[in-house]
Chain A
C-alpha cells in the first residue's frame, strides 16, 4: 500500500464531486440572464422548466441508458396534480410542486416494471403507449381534469411572499430557477454516489452488473421513479407559472421535443438538458419570428448535423475555429 496510490484512488473516485469554476459561472450567468432581460421572463421561465424536464430524461437515458418516448406522461401527471390541488384551493406552490413530483413518482414506480424486459425499441413503444394511455385517461375523466377545456386556477404566493404567474413573471422565473438548481444539485450528487456508479455499470453492461450482485431491475425501477418525479416537478412548475393545464401536456410532441433538447445538449453530463432546452427554445423563438412556418426545418437540420457529424467532432471544429480566430486577432494586434 502506498499513500500516493491511495490518494490517487480517492481523487479519481471523487473527481466529479467538486463544483468546478465553469459550473459556478454557468449558474451565475443563468441567474443574471433573469435579471438582465425582465421583458423576456416568460421565455426564460419556459427554458428553465424545459431544462428540468430534459434533466429528468437525462437521469434515465444519460445515467442508466434507458430510452423513453413517453416522458410527457410524467410532465402531464405532475402538472395536473399541481393544478387539481390548486383548483381545490390548496394554492401553495411548494405544496403543489411536491404533490406533482410525488404523483409522477408513483406512476413512474408503477409503470417501471414494463421497462425491465426487451430492447430499446420495446421501451420506446411501451413508454409511448403509457403516455397515450394517461393522456386519454385525463381526457375521459373531465370531472377531475376539466377534459378538453383544461383547468384554470389561481396560484398562491411562493413561500407566502412572492406572487408568480402573469403578475410576477420574473418571480416565476426565479422560482423555476431555484427549483431547477436544487434538483440539479441533487441529481449531480446522485451521479457521484455508489448508486450512480451502479447505474453506469447497468448502462455499460447489464449482464456483468448482475454478475457483481447488483439487483439491476430494482436499480432501474428506482431511477425511473426518480426521473418521473423530476418530470412531475417540471410539470408542476409549468402549470403553476402559466396557471393553466390542458391535455396537450401528454402529447407525443412533448416527449419528442425533450428528447431533441437532450440530444442537442448531450446526454449523460446533466448540463445537456438545460443547454439543449436553451438552444431549442431560443432558436425556435428567433427563427419563428423570422419565418414562422419553417422553424422546424432548421431544428431538423441541426439535429441531423449533430447526429451525423457527432457532437465531439463539432466541438472540436468550434474549438479549432475559435483558436484560429484568437490567433489571428493576436497577430493583428501585434
Chain B
C-alpha cells in the first residue's frame, strides 16, 4: 500500500466557542514511529478522539490507508485497522487477560457474535492468545482477574489488547503514565518490540520516552500544529522550547 497509513486533512473541532482543534493536517507513514507532544490543554486528547471516531470533526476529513473514514464509527475504524490504547486504563476488571485477549481476537476474526460455540475451542485463537501473553510477559497472571494485576502489567495488557486487533495504525496514549520506575523498563521493551510494519503515533509527556522512541515529532499547541520534524530539530526549536520544553527541556 502506498501513501500514508493515517492522514488527517484540515481537522477542526469546536466545542461551542472553544476551538479545541484548529485546522490540523498531518500524515502517518506505514511503519512510522511518530510522537505527538504538547503542553496540557493543547488538544491532544481531542485530536485522538477525532482520529479514532469517538467524536466527529466540525470540519475536515480522516483517511485510513487511503479510505475516507470520517463518517465511520469508532468500532468500524478498529475493524479497518486503527487501534488505540488509553491514558487511563480501560480494561475489563473482572475478566482475565486470557478472556480479554480471546475476546479481542474473536472480534477481529468476525466470530465474536458466535453464540453457540464454546469459547476456547478454536486452536488458532488459543495459539494467538498464548503468543500475545508470551510477548507481553503476562503468562503468570493470565488466569487472574485483571483488577488484581500489578499496575505495570495492566499497562502491558492495554497495549496487548490493542495489538490483538491487528492494527495497521496504533495510537498509544501515554503508555507509561503512572507506571512505577521498576516496571517502566517492561513498557519500554514492549514498545520497542512492537511490529515494525505498524504505524505508531505516541502521545506522551515523558520526554525521555519520546526521544528514545520517535523518529519524527509533531508539536501541538492550543489546538494547532506548531511544527513537525526530526527529534534533533524539535529539540533545537526555540518556539517549542518556549511553549513546551521550558527551561529544563532537552537540547
Contact = CB atoms under 8 A, between A and B. Distances in A.
B78 A213 contact: yes
A200 B92 contact: yes
Interface string A195-218: 111101100110111111111100
B104 interface: yes
B121 A14 contact: yes
Interface stretch (B9-17, B105-113, B204-212): B105-113
Interface of A: 1, 5-6, 8-14, 17, 189-190, 192-198, 200-201, 204-205, 207-216, 219, 222
Contacts of A198: 103, 106-107, 112-113
Given A1-B131, A9-B120, A10-B120, A211 B113 contact: no
Contact of B120 (A13, A207, A211): A13
Interface in B66-120: 73-76, 78-79, 83-84, 86, 90-96, 98-100, 102-104, 106-108, 111-120
> Interface size bucket, B side?
35 or more
In this complex, the member of A196, A210, A222 whose beta carbon has the largest number of chain B beta carbons within 10 angstroms is: A210
B103 A212 contact: yes
A44 to B, nearest CB: 31
A190 B90 contact: no
A195 B114 contact: yes
Nearest to A215: B75
In this complex, the member of A14, A194, A210 whose beta carbon has the largest number of chain B beta carbons within 10 angstroms is: A194
Contact of B112 (A11, A190, A214): A214
Nearest to A193: B115
B75 A216 contact: yes
A213 B76 CA distance: 6
In this complex, the member of B52, B73, B84, B126 whose beta carbon has the largest number of chain A beta carbons within 10 angstroms is: B126
Interface in B118-133: 118-121, 126-127, 129-131, 133
Given A194-B111, A205-B90, A212 B78 contact: yes
A192 B114 CA distance: 10
Contacts of B118: 13-14, 17, 189, 192-193
B98 A13 contact: yes
B165 interface: yes
A6 B121 CA distance: 11
Contact of B94 (A9, A189, A193, A204): A204
